[in-house]
Amino acid sequence: MSTARSHWSTRFAFILAAVGSAVGLGNLWKFPYMAGANGGGAFVLIYLLCIAAVGVPIFIAELYIGQKGQKNAVASFEATHEKNTPWRCIGFMGLASAFIILSFYSVVGGWILDFSFKSIFNQFAGKSDEEVKGFLGALFESPWTQVGWHFVFMTGTVGIVLGGVRNGIEKWNKILMPTLFALLGVLFIYSFTLSGFSQSISFLFSPDTSKLTAAGVLEAVGHSFFTLSLGMGAIITYGSYLKKKEGLAKIAITVAFLDTLVALIAGVVIFSVVFTHGMEPGGGPTLLFQTLPVLFSKMTGGYILAVAFFLLVAFAAFSSSVSLLEVAVAYWVETKKKDRVRTTLLIGIVIFGIGVLSALSTNVLSDVKIFKFTFFDLFDKLTSSIFLPLGGVLISLFYGWVLGPKAIEESLSLGKKPSLMKIGLLWTTRVLAPVAVMIVLVKGVMDF
Ligand code: TRP
């Protein structure tokens, strides 16, 4: 086990990569449609609370386990505790999650690539609303187009991970992340000029608690996990490439802050466009693929806006998908001492294969139902509502109870003196976060 591990070149490079992992389809696609469907402000408020009270503590826990363990998502549990500890099963479940999440994430990534090309080739312009809306249906009905784009997306992800931590993941994040922030900044400034801007702000930021449902609250807790890439070892893996002696709490707060900022700004931009044209915010998952293209096709500057927007989403999706693939690659390369290039290619092919089931869920396999779900929905539900929350509960308990106060002192680097932060983190990871996430988990299991 003495092969030297790569490390991020700087702390900043690590933060970029962690933000790259966190900011993805979860922020730009899922968050806006969930907020829209759950009435806006009240959902956003609960989401913010979850990020602070559940997301940040578990983020610190994962970072600590990775950084202290300096190994992959399975072996880091052993390195921080003891050899063959049963807690390493969290890592195995994480590996399963990596395969499953990436398989359908890549299919949605493929839709984004398809829409990026459509926008670059100006295909929304001069079409009727029905025609523009029809693009998504046509894509869904065509097995080849969907599998093809899924292949392109996986190839891109594999291509980045092949380069390794420094020359692949770090290098690409240094290009993708600043571009993403620049594009988002431009879109945000543009949204000030839209007449729907103020309505968008009040929709997202003035909570109307009467619109909140129990299901909405649970969705918010679950999403706080997905959006921060928690519960399956992605942050453990990234944290393991961090040199020892970095203040973890600050890093966790920075990443959570930037991730939330991106989600909120994306929400403001999207709903400004929606309200400017008097459309309904509750469009659901098709918001990004039907509502927005229709609006882009009508707006002055809509061409540029559409291209910028879909490229933004594509970049965000790539920087997240690499973090999912790296979890599996790091495990096989380190534990089984396999060659990195061959392992990456092989895992990429397997995940591509599993993803084909999701790509065919809207056409050839649409009638195949497992527990009443298509493959696509099954994979999404199984991971977002069961594996990730379960992983999160266990990671939190492992950190709070098994590693305990010493780990917390080290994570916060405050030394031994008692402090409110220390007690806060101890009891959030011991009780508050596990209980909150358990409730989501029970609901997830009941949905099956
Ligand atoms: N956080 C990413 C998003 O919001 C998705 C993601 C990347 C992820 N890595 C993960 C989700 C690990 C769960 C676990 O799109």
Q: DSSP states of 165-197 as a string?
A: IIIIIIHHHHHHHHHHHHHHHHHHHHHHTSTTH
Residue partners of 115: CB distance under 8 A and separation at least 6? 135, 289, 293, 310
Output the residue whose Cα is nearest ligand 1's atom 7: 320
Q: What is the pTM of this model?
A: 0.94
244 CA distance to ligand 1 centroid (A)?
A: 24
Q: In a 10 Å sphere around its CB, with 0-12 CB exposed, 13-18 middle and 19+ buried, how is residue 114 labelled?
A: buried
Q: Is the CB of 26 under 6 A from ligand 1?
A: yes
Q: Is the CB of 302 under 6 A from ligand 1?
A: no
Q: Is the CB of 434 under 6 A from ligand 1?
A: no
> Could you say which DSSP state residue 372 is in?
T
The residues pairing with 281 across neighbouring beta strands, listed in sequence order, are none
Question: What pLDDT score was predicted for residue 2?
Answer: 41
Residue 313 tokens read as: 């989403």
Question: What pLDDT score was predicted for residue 4?
Answer: 66
Question: What pLDDT score was predicted for residue 190?
Answer: 87
* Widest CA span in the chain: 67
Residue 25 tokens read as: 């389809």
Q: Is the CB of 104 under 6 A from ligand 1?
A: no
Residue partners of 378: CB distance under 8 A and separation at least 6? 370, 371
Rg (CA), the chain: 21
Which atom belonging to ligand 1 lies closest to the Cα atom of 259? 4
Angstrom distance (rounded) from CA 281 to CA 284: 8
Which atom belonging to ligand 1 lies closest to the Cα atom of 22? 1
Each residue of 258-305: pLDDT tens digit?
999 999 999 999 999 899 888 888 878 888 998 889 888 887 888 998
Q: Is the CB of 290 under 6 A from ligand 1?
A: no
The answer to whether 151 touches 352, Cβ cutoff 8 Å, is yes
Best substitution site from 19, 21, 238 to test ligand 1's pocket, by max atoms within 8 Å of Cβ? 21
Question: What pLDDT score was predicted for residue 1?
Answer: 42
Residue 277 tokens read as: 């044209």
Residue ranges in the chain modelled with pLDDT below 70: 1-4, 415-416
The answer to whether 348 touches 325, Cβ cutoff 8 Å, is yes
Closest C-alpha among 325, 17, 340 to residue 171: 17
Residue partners of 326: CB distance under 8 A and separation at least 6? 161, 165, 169, 234, 237, 238
Angstrom distance (rounded) from CA 25 to CA 277: 24
Residues for the chain: how many in total? 448
> Quick one: residue 164, left, alpha or beta (phi over 0 = left, psi -120 to 50 = alpha)?
left
